[in-house]
Amino acid sequence: MKYASSLVLGGNLIEAVNGNHSQYKKLYLLCPHCKDPVFFQDRSLRQTQNKLVVVEEHFKHFPSSNSKDDCENRSRSINQEKINKQDSRERKQRLKILQNNFWFLFLNNASCLDGREKDSITPKKMEDLIEGILKNQGAFLPLGPFQGNHEEAEAFFNKVWKYDFNTYISSKEGKEDMLFMLQNYVLTPEADCCRTNMKLRKEQTNFGLYCLILKEIIDFLYVESSRGLLRKCLFFGFAKELTRNYFQDFVRDVREYGAAPIMQRSFFATLMDINWVQLFKAGKQNKYKGKSLRHSNQGMLRACTFR
């Protein structure tokens, strides 16, 4: 196929022209139809029945892809304009779902809130906890990490609270941190545990589309109108660590790197653990166009949680 959409460029179409493999690799290219990863194939000569034929530069699915033949056929009959139109329609649909339902979908599918783990609390309790912290500007901190010292615990919370979240959220830094995590935990994971997780994810879902949606969520959270929501997301990161057994590590990291980046990292870990592809598919089938999911079938949404 002649075109591929680039994840790094927010899904924009790229034409296969004379270039080198490593350049294309950096753009993280997806098939415009099925959103599976594709790779660049340089111009080549092919021999067919005593004739040499030039095969132009193009993009190819990996041999393991299920939708390979389907997409190759489709891309012959479809042009760039049609792909763009279809893409932007799909993107708009997803943005609408995010605008109306992001917080609900996120809380109800957060793996740390599904009751499977000993220290798990419910989505409702989590929401109350976050709202409580934001309203009263205080939280009950376990004293363990502070050697039982109340004053130290209080000083720690003040440090979290006095962190200039507004600066972090509105400057480039916050978004860049998110994109860094997308790159290093999801797209090209470096740590072994991330690599194993992503291998599993590739088996269970359309990985390209999953990455594309994560990128769209980051873009959505970092627009001005989402600022209040993003703040809640950061405090989700704080509240999550507060209710878990490894609060001690969190305290250490906050002291070293500052509150917001560490809270955001904790939030992102939960965000990337959700199978957004499944959720969006379920939303589409349910035709909840723009309606709040608060009144829809929660059981169905639960069942879609990524394992």
- Contacting positions for Zn ion (CB under 5 A): 31, 33-34, 36, 67, 71
**Share of the chain residues as helix, strand and coil, in percent rounded to the nearest 5:** 65, 10, 30
Q: Which is nearer to Zn ion, 71 or 113 (CB)?
A: 71
Q: Which is nearer to Zn ion, 24 or 222 (CB)?
A: 24
Which DSSP category does 56 fall into?
P
Task: Please give the single-letter amino acid code of residue 226.
Answer: S
**Distance of closest approach, residue 209 Cβ to Zn ion, in angstroms:** 11
Cα pseudo-dihedral 253, 8, 205, 118, rounded to 10? 10
**Distance of closest approach, residue 207 Cβ to Zn ion, in angstroms:** 12
**Distance of closest approach, residue 31 Cβ to Zn ion, in angstroms:** 3
Q: Which is nearer to Zn ion, 14 or 160 (CB)?
A: 14
Q: Which is nearer to Zn ion, 67 or 183 (CB)?
A: 67
* Tokens, residue 284: 């589409």
Q: Which is nearer to Zn ion, 65 or 183 (CB)?
A: 65
**Distance of closest approach, residue 29 Cβ to Zn ion, in angstroms:** 11
- Nearest-angstrom CA–CA distance, 241 and 37: 34
Q: Which is nearer to Zn ion, 73 or 245 (CB)?
A: 73
**Distance of closest approach, residue 67 Cβ to Zn ion, in angstroms:** 4
Q: Which residue has the tokens 């929501």?
A: 229
Task: List, in sequence order, every beta strand (DSSP E) within the chain.
Answer: 3-6, 12-15, 29-30, 38-41, 44-48, 51-55, 58-61
Q: Which residue has the tokens 């979908």?
A: 105
CA distances from 70 to 88, 112, 131, 188, 231 (A): 21, 38, 48, 27, 43
- Nearest-angstrom CA–CA distance, 27 and 5: 9
* Tokens, residue 282: 């379920």
**Distance of closest approach, residue 74 Cβ to Zn ion, in angstroms:** 8
Task: Enumerate residues 6+ apart whose C-beta is below 8 A from 190.
Answer: 184
* Tokens, residue 229: 């929501």
Q: Which is nearer to Zn ion, 2 or 159 (CB)?
A: 2
- Nearest-angstrom CA–CA distance, 64 and 34: 13
Q: 243: closest CA among 148, 154, 120, 151? A: 120
How many Cβ atoms are within 10 Å of 138's Cβ, its own excluded? 12
**Distance of closest approach, residue 61 Cβ to Zn ion, in angstroms:** 6
Q: Which is nearer to Zn ion, 4 or 160 (CB)?
A: 4
**Distance of closest approach, residue 3 Cβ to Zn ion, in angstroms:** 11
